[in-house]
Amino acid sequence: DSGVTQTPKHLITATGQRVTLRCSPRSGDLSVYWYQQSLDQGLQFLIQYYNGEERAKGNILERFSAQQFPDLHSELNLSSLELGDSALYFCASSAWTDQETQYFGPGTRLLVL
Partner 1 sequence: AQSVTQLGSHVSVSEGALVLLRCNYSSSVPPYLFWYVQYPNQGLQLLLKYTSAATLVKGINGFEAEFKKSETSFHLTKPSAHMSDAAEYFCAVRVTGTASKLTFGTGTRLQVTL
Q: Which of 45, 52, 67, 79 binds partner 1 (CB under 8 A)?
A: 45
- From 52, 65, 86, 106, residue interacting with partner 1 (rule: CB under 8 A): 106
CB nearer to partner 1: give 16 or 27.
27
Q: What's the closest the beta carbon of residue 16 comes to partner 1, in angstroms? A: 28
Give the sign of the dihedral formed by CA 64, CA 21, CA 12, CA 2: positive
CB 58 within 8 A of CB 41: no
Q: Does 55 contact partner 1 by CB under 8 A?
A: yes
Quick check: 74 and 92 in contact, CB under 8 A? no
